[in-house]
Amino acid sequence: MSETLAAPVEHGEPAGFWRTYVFSTDHKMIARQYMFIALFWAALGGFFAYIIRWQLAHPDTDIPLLGRPIGPEEYNAFVTMHGTIMVFFVAMPLLLASFGNFLIPLMIGARDMAFPRLNMLSVWVLALASLILIGSFFVEGGAASAGWTGYPPLSAKPAYTGVEWGMDLWLLALALEFGSFLMGGINFLVTPMNMRTRGMGFFRMPLFVWMVMIASLIFLLSVGPLIAGAVMLLLDRNLGTSFFMAPGGGDPLLWQHLFWFFGHPEVYVILLPALGAMMEVMTTFSRKTIFGYRPIIIAVIVAGGLSFVVWAHHQFISGLDPRLATPFSVTTIIISVPFALIVFALLATLWRGSIRLATPMWFAVGGLAVFIFGGLTGIFNGSAAVDIYIHDTYFVVAHFHSTLFSSLFLGGFAAIYYWYPKMFGRMMNEALGQLHFWGTFLFFLAVFVPMHLVGVGGMMRRIANPGQYEFLAPLAGLNRMITMSTIFLLLSQFFFVFNFFWSMFRGRPAPENPWDGTTLEWTTLSPPPHGNWPGEVPRVYHPPYGYGLPGASEDWVPQHRPLPSGAAPRT
């Protein structure tokens, strides 16, 4: 791309504490801010998972750490907030916003984002949304409790849940969060479109950049109807309209359509950056060019497009016209085709590679394995006939956690362990990293594999006390085992927390390129200075993953070095 655009951006070197750490326009500082917001919320979301699980295993007893029992109303609030937090305040800020911000300029060879002030605004709007969501716990009636999907009529009439302000604040917090990611999304799209360094064609961008661009586009295109829906719900709650209330002529199903038209694409907004990070890690640690670079991009675009026509698979038994069930089943099953292609491409990348099993690679491979598993159970949910039996059971809960946990946490940890040296200038401890991986991976399986059995055994989701149902009595032992495993899963995270903060101050100083990566972020200092490269921005000579090239002196050629004559990386 043109040299002028890659020249230093207009905002100068930051000066002083406030401009450097708080109101920063530097994409790398903004990325760290997003990361800390996400990690704060992850701790709270995880704590809520523990509260939920404790209540399910030992209903109505004192919850250790909380120091008191919770009733069914509060249980609903914890489930709602757990889901809301994990999806909107952990997954998107961490995968899309933090890594998107940190990596896009570094990977494409730009000195910052296209719109640095908009970037700063987006993180502060998210911070405001976070404060409002926290505030909603302390208002009269407590926090929202209509589920993360906020279905009316439950969400439309305060009398149904006893939640007054909490629900309005929930809607407001989400509206602000959406606004924040719309602003972020503009940067994630415009920056790679306009600010690539010389030689960086679109098909020479690392896959992570592609994934963030496609995720941002999906988000931009799907969120509008839900914002309209949220305004209508606010009006129903506060001004007596009846968009979603049957007695006044409204239709609660309308909300479900608006929500899931956004909701299904939204899971890809979470998934794609995670997959992108896993791809970067896998190619580096198997020392092999990614298999099928272009087919992967095309498959993701196809899956992204299809994600707009599958939404009613969440509504098979909602009173939807049964003639609609078949088309939505079919589109849902079709969407597994591009994903199967991506999975095979990744397996082919690993195949016969010289695999280096460091912590990022463990998380990436573990994440891929769990994602495959979660994708397979999705086929059952997507088939309308089967879904009649498993809808709203713990089978569904187990399915979506397999895909979401593998994206958010297994993919997210792969990304953190991989790029931490670049982000913070120090290496993380490898032994602690591997302990963290095995604790997380094995206890994840111990929580969510048996959960499928509980679901097939008939246990419904969103119930506060399974002890009230005689037919669920045989599942009590499994439920206690799942809760025990949840506690160990959460305890395993202390390996990470300690490693993360300890390494920041005590870790071995990171070299520029600790993993022998080929993409541009590894060509500058760790951490990169303001403006990203101390001297000129490097230019690019070939596609991103130059591993194992014949004629090269090492097993890799970085993107900013010309290829040895005769070598051409496959794309």
In whole angstroms, the minimum distance from the beta carbon of 201 to Cu ion comes to 34
Whether the Cβ atoms of residue 195 and residue 1 lie closer than 8 Å to each other = yes
In whole angstroms, the minimum distance from the beta carbon of 158 to ligand HEM comes to 18
Question: Count residues contacting ligand HEM (CB under 6 A)?
Answer: 24
- Name the residue nearer to ligand HEM (CB basis): 255 or 424: 255
Residue nearest to ligand HEM as judged by C-beta position: 83
Task: For 197-250, give the DSSP string.
Answer: PTT--GGGS-HHHHHHHHHHHHHHHHHHHHHHHHHHHHHHHHT---SS-GGGT-
461 binds, among ligand HEM, Cu ion, none (CB under 5 to 8 A by kind): ligand HEM
**Contact between 126 and ligand HEM per CB under 6 A:** no
In whole angstroms, the minimum distance from the beta carbon of 406 to Cu ion comes to 16
In whole angstroms, the minimum distance from the beta carbon of 398 to ligand HEM comes to 10
405 binds, among Cu ion, ligand HEM, none (CB under 5 to 8 A by kind): ligand HEM
In whole angstroms, the minimum distance from the beta carbon of 400 to Cu ion comes to 9
Query: Which 38-57 positions form the footprint of ligand HEM (CB under 6 A)?
Result: 46, 49, 52-53
Selected from 6, 51, 70, 79, the binder of ligand HEM by CB under 6 A is 79
Place of tokens 């149902």: 469
In whole angstroms, the minimum distance from the beta carbon of 208 to ligand HEM comes to 19
264 binds, among ligand HEM, Cu ion, none (CB under 5 to 8 A by kind): Cu ion
Rounded Cα distance between 500 and 149, Å, is 33
**Contact between 405 and ligand HEM per CB under 6 A:** yes
Query: Which 472-501 positions form the footprint of ligand HEM (CB under 6 A)?
Result: 486, 489
Query: What residues contact residue 99 under an 8 Å CB cut-off, 6+ apart?
Result: 31, 208, 212, 273, 277, 415, 419
In whole angstroms, the minimum distance from the beta carbon of 88 to ligand HEM comes to 9
In whole angstroms, the minimum distance from the beta carbon of 378 to Cu ion comes to 8
- Name the residue nearer to ligand HEM (CB basis): 79 or 557: 79
Angle between helices 394-405 and 430-456 (to 10 degrees): 160
Query: What residues contact residue 108 under an 8 Å CB cut-off, 6+ apart?
Result: 191, 192, 195, 196, 197, 200, 205, 209, 520
**Contact between 200 and ligand HEM per CB under 6 A:** no
**Contact between 180 and ligand HEM per CB under 6 A:** no
Element (H, E) at 325: helix 325-350
Judged by CB under 6 A, the stretch of 13-21, 400-408, 428-436, 499-507 that binds ligand HEM is 400-408
Whether the Cβ atoms of residue 156 and residue 253 lie closer than 8 Å to each other = no
Rounded Cα distance between 281 and 367, Å, is 11
- Name the residue nearer to ligand HEM (CB basis): 40 or 124: 40
Angle between helices 207-238 and 293-306 (to 10 degrees): 10
- Name the residue nearer to Cu ion (CB basis): 24 or 393: 393
> For the chain, first and last CA: distance in Å?
20
Judged by CB under 6 A, the stretch of 28-36, 129-137, 274-282, 398-406 that binds ligand HEM is 398-406
Rounded Cα distance between 195 and 198, Å, is 9
Helix then strand then coil, in percent of the chain rounded to 5, is 70, 0, 30
467 binds, among Cu ion, ligand HEM, none (CB under 5 to 8 A by kind): none
**Contact between 455 and ligand HEM per CB under 6 A:** no
Binding site for Cu ion (CB under 5 A): 264
196 binds, among Cu ion, ligand HEM, none (CB under 5 to 8 A by kind): none
Rounded Cα distance between 461 and 449, Å, is 16
179 binds, among Cu ion, ligand HEM, none (CB under 5 to 8 A by kind): none
> Would you call 546 helix, strand, or coil by DSSP?
coil
Angle between helices 359-382 and 325-350 (to 10 degrees): 160
Angle between helices 99-108 and 207-238 (to 10 degrees): 150
**Contact between 314 and ligand HEM per CB under 6 A:** no
Rounded Cα distance between 157 and 163, Å, is 9
Rounded Cα distance between 153 and 178, Å, is 23
Judged by CB under 6 A, the stretch of 136-144, 365-373, 403-411, 547-555 that binds ligand HEM is 403-411
**Contact between 436 and ligand HEM per CB under 6 A:** no
Whether the Cβ atoms of residue 1 and residue 198 lie closer than 8 Å to each other = yes
Return residues touching ligand HEM (CB under 6 A). 46, 49, 52-53, 79-80, 82-83, 86-87, 91, 147-148, 397, 401, 404-405, 408-409, 447, 461-462, 486, 489
